[in-house]
Amino acid sequence: MSSANTAYITRDLAHVWHPCTQMKDHEQLPPIPVRRGEGAWLEDYEGKRYLDAISSWWVNLFGHANPRINAAVRAQLEELEQVILAGFTHEPVIALSEELCAIAPAGLTRCFYADNGSSAVEVAVKMSFHFWHNTGRSAKRRFLTLSNSYHGETLGALAVGNVELYKEIYRPLLMDVITVPSPDCFQRERGESPAEYSRRQFAHMEAALGKHAQEACAVIVEPLVQCAGGMRMYDPVYLTLLREACDRHQVHLIADEIAVGFGRTGTMFACEQAGIRPDFMCLSKGLTGGYLPLSAVMTTEAVYAAFYDEYVKLNAFLHSHSFTGNPLGCAAARASLAIFRDDHVLEANRTLAARLGERAGALADHPHVAEVRQRGMILAIELAADKASRAPYPWQERRGLRVYRHALTRGVLLRPIGNVVYFMPPYVITPAEIDLMVEVAREGIESATCD
């Protein structure tokens, strides 16, 4: 049967190799060609609409084709599309840096740019190592990371992450890291609070820092939510303890806020909930409102100063990407930050998050739901084969995929991670759309767990 979508699918499958995809799956479930987007909705070539409940891989904040961001990018396009950022500069990157420094945890006063999240992680890792080298501590060359963490797919970022599915095959290529058990509160004992468990799990980190401080550059974490690891959450107290211990052991703290930054957890940055300032804060995804590939690593004067020297000392951070600080991306980012300010977004999101929690909370009673957890605008529903023991469904059964397929038939884009169905919607979602999204997830869970 030929249709408007089919023509694109045929052409796509002839040449496009899709990310994070077993391409053979497309024999059963072809990619959906998207013609346009508006607000929280995507539309294919046959007019079918999909509610984007996952913000197109967690990037979109204020809807597709947002008029204010569109206008800002369009205006910038008429002035300057791209310029080398070495030896040259431009107003969008200057102003964006000022604005980021004004809203970031106090003390993060320097912005280094790249063009995607993984590259930001690479920058933070290299900068931390290089800082210790420049300050005479060249024995420091290892990184501590949490189990179940995710920091991207390039080799350095993959090395400091811990999701086996993505990492295992490449292990021979990766630097050796120190992996510490996660504070993931899904693992807590019955009757134990998330704060108690997070505090208890910190003992592993304290021990690892005690053992490895002399050789450790930094600890890298996803603050509060391990997103790709299945939206596993932990208490802010872990970050407070971690900041104190990193200071005591003279080890940097890298906060990867690529997914959780820009309001996802309820505050502008997740670190704020622990009252801490990391040494490096990685930003991407929502940085541009989800419009364009741009990332930033924010750091302190102390780090900056360790690279500031006579050229001949060869102490500079000689890292670059061609599109570093792209003006269009910076313009989109500034427009996105203006929306945060003008529309009191964090405040408005509290109402949306409450609605989401209220509607999805009812799913906790489902016989195959082990947990419903939420942090701000992120809500996750953990499916289990056995509710009492929390035994997971075997991954080969691909229960989440069944939810995905059901939701597509109902016009909602959900993209479960294994057995975890989650919502991370754009902030322009309406209460009625939240209700729809949750109802469709409920139906999907029902049909995915009925056998």
Cα(377)–Cα(341) distance, integer angstroms? 18
| Closer of 163 and 306 to ligand PMP (Cβ) | 163
| Closer of 105 and 411 to ligand PMP (Cβ) | 105
Cβ neighbours of residue 272 closer than 8 Å, sequence gap 6 or more: 105
Give the nearest distance from C-beta 19 to ligand PMP in angstroms.
Answer: 9
| Closer of 198 and 284 to ligand PMP (Cβ) | 284
Give the nearest distance from C-beta 100 to ligand PMP in angstroms.
Answer: 17
Give the nearest distance from C-beta 352 to ligand PMP in angstroms.
Answer: 21
Exposed/middle/buried for residue 394 (C-beta within 10 Å: 0-12, 13-18, 19+): exposed
| Closer of 373 and 406 to ligand PMP (Cβ) | 373
- Angle between helical axes of 431-448 and 345-361 (0-180°, round to 10): 30
Give the nearest distance from C-beta 29 to ligand PMP in angstroms.
Answer: 22
Cα(59)–Cα(424) distance, integer angstroms? 10
Q: Which residues bind ligand PMP (CB under 6 A)?
A: 116-118, 121, 150-152, 222, 227-228, 256, 258-259, 284
Longest dimension (CA), the chain: 69
Give the nearest distance from C-beta 426 to ligand PMP in angstroms.
Answer: 16
Cβ neighbours of residue 351 closer than 8 Å, sequence gap 6 or more: none
Cβ neighbours of residue 380 closer than 8 Å, sequence gap 6 or more: 230, 231, 233, 371, 372, 373, 374, 420, 421, 422, 423
Q: Which residue of the chain is nearest ligand PMP when measured via CB?
A: 117
Give the nearest distance from C-beta 227 to ligand PMP in angstroms.
Answer: 5
The total of other beta-carbon atoms located within 10 Å of residue 448's CB is 24
Q: How far is CA 180 from CA 74, 184, 265, 277, 440, in A?
A: 46, 12, 23, 21, 37
Question: Among candidates 217, 175, 209, which has minimal Cα distance to 303?
Answer: 217
Cα(361)–Cα(363) distance, integer angstroms? 5
| Closer of 118 and 449 to ligand PMP (Cβ) | 118
| Closer of 222 and 235 to ligand PMP (Cβ) | 222
